[in-house]
Chains A and B, each alone.
Chain A
Amino acid sequence: MEQEVILSLENIHKSFDGQKALCGIDLTIYKGEFLTLLGPSGCGKTTTLRIIAGLESPDEGRVILGGTDVTDWEPNKRGVNTVFQSYALFPHMNVENNIAYGLKLRKVPKEEIKKQVEEMLELVQLPGFGERMPSQLSGGQRQRVAIARAIVNKPSVLLLDEPLGALDLQLRRQMQVELKRLQQKLGITFVYITHDQEEALNMSDRIGIMNQGKILQLGTPEEIYEHPKSRFAAQFIGQSNILKATVTGRDAAGNLTLSFGGGTILASGQGEPGEKVTLSLRTERVRYGREPRQGFTLSGQVKNNHYSGGMMRTVLTLPTGEELLVSGMGDGIEGRLPAGTQVHIGWDPACAVIVERGWPDEAE
């Protein structure tokens, strides 16, 4: 299916006081999708959002919105709206006037405004709150008003800057579901910013992993999780073992064979014999047990077990001194094995992914 492009960023660069914030952002966003930019604080995700909104102008590059170059447009001329991290509700206006603000500016007739505000309050489940002042609302209610104020203008793209950051865990989970519901119901394109991987994985159609002013990987939550393309992506989302291995060749099934931890391991991907590569292996993909099984190519011993809320984390030591972290529901493959037990270790070759050519510096 050919998807319609609504927004694209082309080679965006931006620095603040000589500090590079963005170095060449290229991003294409399709109509109706929920795209999340995920990254640690300071990675440039908020700057990217502000450039789309027009609140910052890029030093270099273009912003194309619905086929028009809007790079030099003032924010008020663009058909995008933002939900701010601090909500930025106007403290001197009641809820109704906050929501109506954008409509009033576009000179929508009074009755029409009233009707639409009512509808919005229904939609965000705050009927009858029109007369309240922002100071009389709870955090979650402010959040809903901020969303209503933005979507009432039917923006072509809605930008959300860590909108759930200030809410507690319970409310955050609830709002995730609601936001997704709203997005599907209204069919508005969402560009969502967060540093919370769970939020990103739960809600997005596509995720862009950002670090140090660059988009490292763009893909569906599944792609990002199962096939991280960089060490950063592997470590930022979920928990991974980072393995420094050397390619030895291929086995009969076409898997890459590598030497690691005093044995031979299997992985998917390309590599020349003798090449040093870095692998990522999700902790929950590691299998181990007293008896060897098909594909169990390593041996080691249990170092310790650690229970953490419904999840058992086990550290395995390999003969070469390297350690593997394993997580699971506490049953491992043969149940919990006491520290010191000699075990055989293996995994599905498709789960070990090459994330870097060469080995990372020891210093890092």
Chain B
Amino acid sequence: MRKKRTFLPETYVVLMLLLMYLPIFVVVAYSFNDTKLFHWAGFTFSWYQKLFHNQTIINAFFNSLKLAVLSSGLAAILGTMGAVGMAGRTFFGKGALEGLSTVPIMIPEIILGMAYLSFFSLLQVPFGMLTLVAAHTTFCVPYIFINVKASLQSLDPALGEAALDLGASRRRVFFDITAPLIFPSILSGSLLAFAMSMDDVVISFFVTGPETATLPLQVYSMLKMGVTPEINALCTVMLGTVFLLVAGARLFQSARKAKKGR
């Protein structure tokens, strides 16, 4: 029997990718459609103009950006310190603390949302940026903690010992050896946390205040209200940004690889 070369696998992968991009293409296409309705009525940039003059959306965007920067930054500090502190030690309650710190991304988000709504009400903390940052930081910590922990585990313990052996203090070992080597994992964990914070609907929904609508919440309420094509424009801008960032990161990586391989 001869082996037959089929293109089924490639076809399937390409078809699935197309299907994944279908809703995105539609959004991009409609952002240039000169009507509020659903038929094609010619090309326009007017939705982009409207978008850039829509103060509510712009405010929401900056709220989200501020929130994501603050919470992924705070989480990066907490998560990194936690992972570094736990590495190579065994103490009472370590397992429990590890488990507890990953709970926020293991349980459905709505449970945490509900917990914060009732908890902050009980403490009479006013809902707003403060509660948002607290909630987002909590679910950002695990992304960084897990990433850094994995990176520390894959680190050869002999590297730290070699530095100690060459005369470095434990502080120096951390800053000269450990920190540079786990930095990529802190960065990738923080980026993931940043993206999760920018995208979060469920938890933000419960802890937001009257003046701190985040971008996803703003989009959600606009979608619930009815159709505003500015959303298409907004989505296209966001997609474009992400694509540029990803493409940039890949170019940067391959440039670095090329340089290294010299």
Contact = CB atoms under 8 A, between A and B. Distances in A.
A/B: CB atoms within 8 Å of each other: yes
Interface of A: 53-55, 74-77, 80-82, 84-86, 88-92, 101-102, 105-106, 133, 149-150, 153
Nearest to A77: B167
B168 A86 contact: no
15 contacts: A53-B161, A55-B165, A74-B170, A81-B165, A81-B166, A84-B158, A84-B162, A88-B156, A102-B166, A105-B166, A105-B168, A106-B167, A149-B162, A150-B165, A153-B167
A85 B156 CA distance: 11
B50 interface: no
B161 A92 contact: no
B179 to A, nearest CB: 10
A257 to B, nearest CB: 55
Contacts of B170: 74
B159 interface: yes
Closest 7 CB pairs of A and B: A88-B158, A102-B166, A88-B162, A75-B164, A105-B167, A84-B158, A82-B165
Contacts of A86: 156, 158
A327 B168 CA distance: 52
Interface string B97-112: 0000000000000000
Contacts of A90: 159, 162-163, 176-177
B95 interface: no
Interface residues of B, number: 19
Contacts of B125: none
A82 B161 CA distance: 9
Contact of B166 (A54, A92, A133, A153): A153
A263 B23 CA distance: 96
Nearest to A159: B165
Given A81-B166, A85-B158, A90-B163, 12 more contacts: A54-B165, A76-B167, A76-B169, A80-B165, A86-B158, A89-B162, A90-B159, A92-B181, A102-B167, A106-B167, A150-B165, A150-B166
Most buried by A among B158, B163, B167: B167
Contact of A82 (B162, B169, B172, B177): B162
B260 interface: yes
Interface in B162-199: 162-170, 172, 176-177, 180-181
Interface string B39-78: 0000000000000000000000000000000000000000
Nearest to A55: B161
B196 to A, nearest CB: 28
Nearest to B177: A90
Contacts of A91: 159, 181
Contacts of B164: 54-55, 74-76
A105 B172 contact: yes
A87 B139 CA distance: 39
A88 B167 contact: no
Contacts of A101: 163, 166, 168, 176
B166 A53 contact: no
B176 to A, nearest CB: 8
Contact of A92 (B162, B168, B180): B180
Nearest to A79: B167
Interface in B125-172: 156, 158-159, 161-170, 172
A76 B177 contact: no
A261 B156 CA distance: 55
A101 B163 CA distance: 8
A53 B167 CA distance: 11
A86 B158 CA distance: 8
B261 to A, nearest CB: 9
Nearest to A82: B165
Scoring A77, A82, A106, A149 by chain B CB atoms within 10 A of each residue's CB, the highest score goes to: A82
Centre residue among B166, B167, B176 by max chain A CB count within 10 A: B166
Contact of A88 (B159, B169, B180): B159
Contacts of A88: 156, 158-159, 161-162
A5 B163 CA distance: 27
B181 A84 contact: no
Nearest to A135: B260
A101 B207 CA distance: 50
Contacts of A133: 260
B21 to A, nearest CB: 37
B165 A76 contact: yes
B50 to A, nearest CB: 49
A20 B162 CA distance: 25
A211 B162 CA distance: 26
A86 B166 CA distance: 16
